[in-house]
Amino acid sequence: MPILKDIRQLAVCPSEGGQAEIGLIDDAALVWQGGRIVWVGKEEELPAEFASEQVFSAQQGLVIPGLIDCHTHLAFGGWRAAEFEMRILGKPYVEIAAAGGGIASTVRATREASEEELFLRCMQHLENIAELGVTTLECKSGYGLTVADELKLLRVYKRLQNAQPLGIVSTFLGAHTVPREYKDDRERYLELVVKEMIPEVASEGLAIFCDVFVEQGAFSVEEARQVLEAASASGMKAKLHVDQLSSGGGAELAASLGAVSADHLEFVSDNGVEAMKQSGAVAVTLPLASLYTFQKPLDARRFIDAGVPVAVATDFNPGTAPSFHLPMVMMLACTANRMTPAEAVKGATIYAAQAIALAGEIGSLEVGKQADFAILQAESIDQWLYHFTSNACVKTVKAGQVMYERH
Ligand code: NIG
Ligand code: FE
């Protein structure tokens, strides 16, 4: 039975308590068996029954639950560095999109890429992501926008589940934007999503969640409702991109549909915050996307003060958030969204697990949960996200198996 000792501080990150209550244990030990946690507490209280030869040392590092990136667009073709420059020089994201750039340009590159090419690119990303202490990733389709190309992206995610150790949770985002070929007939595109894509995705069991981008230029609240009701009838749970560039009643929609999360939310209304509080939806903040689009960042305090859990995610995609560096994004959640380091840690662990409906399995270091954790070389959680180093993670463990170790 493996035991990890010599832990300077361990953050349990329980579901209970407020956003800042990460349950710190000084001088801790952690025991697991068959990939599950069987004991956690102060090392001096370790029961004698756990005497074992398999003792590992955390070398006075911090131990946190494996980080969970609960919002990414992992598989895509190409990049969009030229648009980055255009945005810096003052051209708004929506104007670039209207001129055929933005999501549409990634759709072109993604359609051109083979399933194998996309798979190999994702494998490389995941290897780098594991080095940061991340053990689970939510991955969206949404850059294919034909039946075949959406299935191609989701099949890449399915292959990744078996080809490497990170946990992969798939989301169908066929309603990301109306592709150019349906520009004058959005009704028909919606019909394609509802009548062909959703049934195919469901019958192959390719996605747990269905997401819709609710925005002017993407989909309306009513259109999103139609898609998500069809998805729900096919067994997929709802997630939503809402209130990112304008306030459109998206958070209210998420609450009324019982969505597990509403993401972005920079322009959320007070009613939207209240509705999410009532429904229990998680608010997912994506500070990198606000920064790269020169938007005002979300004020996370509005949610935290109202008692809505806030998860933190990268939104990794080639347009608005071209980095998969979750610890950096947690630092940005502190500096741009006004979350404390402890709040950001709960946001990228247990609340992120809640945002992908996996809080019973992962996201905290409690008995019965999967033994997913990261060892960080830092003096404290505050110091980790304050004095931001190139990579504080020295070891990443998934279900008791080492997936990365710094040598
Ligand atoms: O989450 N908001 C919509 N979708 C992505 C951006 C997509 C893109 O620009 O390629 C996002 O920010
Ligand atoms: Fe996104």
Question: How many Å lie between the centroid of ligand 1 and the Cα of residue 304?
Answer: 25
- Whole-angstrom Cα Rg for the chain: 21
Q: What is the pLDDT of residue 382?
A: 98
Question: DSSP letters along 253-320, please?
Answer: HHHHHT-SEEEE-TT--HHHHHHHHHHTPEEEE-HHHHHHTTPPPP-HHHHHHHT--EEE----BTTT
% of the chain with per-residue pLDDT over 90: 95
Least reliable range by pLDDT among 94-98, 149-153, 306-310: 94-98
Q: Is the C-beta atom of 241 inside 6 A of ligand 1?
A: yes
Identity of the highest mean pLDDT range in 1-15, 50-64, 89-103: 1-15
Average pLDDT estimate for 53-75: 97
pLDDT digits (tens, 9 = 90+) for 187-201: 999 999 999 999 999
Query: Which residue's CA is the closest to the ligand 1 atom numbered 3?
Result: 213
CA atoms in the 13 A half-sphere facing the CB of 25: 24
Q: Does 52 score more than 80 pLDDT?
A: no
82 confidence band (pLDDT: 50, 70, 90): very high
Q: What is the pLDDT of residue 282?
A: 98
Q: Is the C-beta atom of 102 inside 6 A of ligand 1?
A: yes
Q: Tell me the pairing of strands 24-33 and 36-42.
A: antiparallel
Q: What is the pTM of this model?
A: 0.98
Q: What is the pLDDT of residue 196?
A: 98
pLDDT digits (tens, 9 = 90+) for 316-335: 999 999 999 999 999 999 99
Q: Is the C-beta atom of 398 inside 6 A of ligand 1?
A: no
Q: What is the pLDDT of residue 255?
A: 98
CA distance 288 to 374: 23
Q: What is the pLDDT of residue 16?
A: 97
Q: Does 53 score more than 90 pLDDT?
A: no
Q: What is the pLDDT of residue 367?
A: 98
Query: What secondary structure letter does DSSP report for 1?
Result: -
177 confidence band (pLDDT: 50, 70, 90): very high
Nearest atom (ligand 1) to Cα of 106: 10
Question: How many Å lie between the centroid of ligand 1 and the Cα of residue 195?
Answer: 24
Q: Does 130 score more than 80 pLDDT?
A: yes
344 confidence band (pLDDT: 50, 70, 90): very high
Question: How many Å lie between the centroid of ligand 1 and the Cα of residue 154?
Answer: 17
Q: Is the C-beta atom of 289 inside 6 A of ligand 1?
A: yes
Assess contact for 145 and 175: CB atoms under 8 A.
no
Which of 320, 323, 324, 329 for a ligand 1 pocket mutation test, highest count of atoms within 8 Å of Cβ? Answer: 320
CA distance 230 to 194: 6
Average pLDDT estimate for 143-172: 98
CA atoms in the 13 A half-sphere facing the CB of 197: 33
Query: Which residue's CA is the closest to the ligand 1 atom numbered 6?
Result: 320
Which of 103, 143, 215, 294 for a ligand 1 pocket mutation test, highest count of atoms within 8 Å of Cβ? Answer: 103
Q: Is the C-beta atom of 140 inside 6 A of ligand 1?
A: no
Q: Does 300 score more than 80 pLDDT?
A: yes
- Residue 77's CB is within 10 A of a number of other CB atoms, namely 21
Q: What is the pLDDT of residue 94?
A: 86
Q: Is the C-beta atom of 213 inside 6 A of ligand 1?
A: yes
Q: Does 51 score more than 80 pLDDT?
A: no
> How high does pLDDT run on average in the chain?
97
CA distance 139 to 155: 11
Least reliable range by pLDDT among 37-46, 50-59, 332-341: 50-59
217 confidence band (pLDDT: 50, 70, 90): confident
Average pLDDT estimate for 243-272: 95
Q: Is the C-beta atom of 394 inside 6 A of ligand 1?
A: no
Give the CA diameter of the chain: 71
CA distance 324 to 137: 10
Beta bridge partners of 214: 219
Q: How far is CA 167 from the centre of its chain?
A: 12
Beta bridge partners of 24: 11
Q: What is the pLDDT of residue 99?
A: 86
Whole-angstrom CA distances from 114 to 117, 118, 170, 342 are 5, 6, 19, 41
Average pLDDT estimate for 157-173: 98
Q: Is the C-beta atom of 244 inside 6 A of ligand 1?
A: yes
- Residue 314's CB is within 10 A of a number of other CB atoms, namely 30
Query: Which residue's CA is the closest to the ligand 1 atom numbered 1?
Result: 315
CA distance 134 to 167: 9
Average pLDDT estimate for 37-42: 98
147 confidence band (pLDDT: 50, 70, 90): very high
Question: How many Å lie between the centroid of ligand 2 and the Cα of residue 393?
Answer: 25
Least reliable range by pLDDT among 69-83, 94-108, 162-176, 269-283: 94-108
Question: How many Å lie between the centroid of ligand 1 and the Cα of residue 244?
Answer: 9
Q: What is the pLDDT of residue 336?
A: 98
Q: Tell me the pairing of strands 62-65 and 373-376.
A: antiparallel
CA distance 151 to 158: 10
Q: What is the pLDDT of residue 248?
A: 86
Q: What is the pLDDT of residue 100?
A: 85
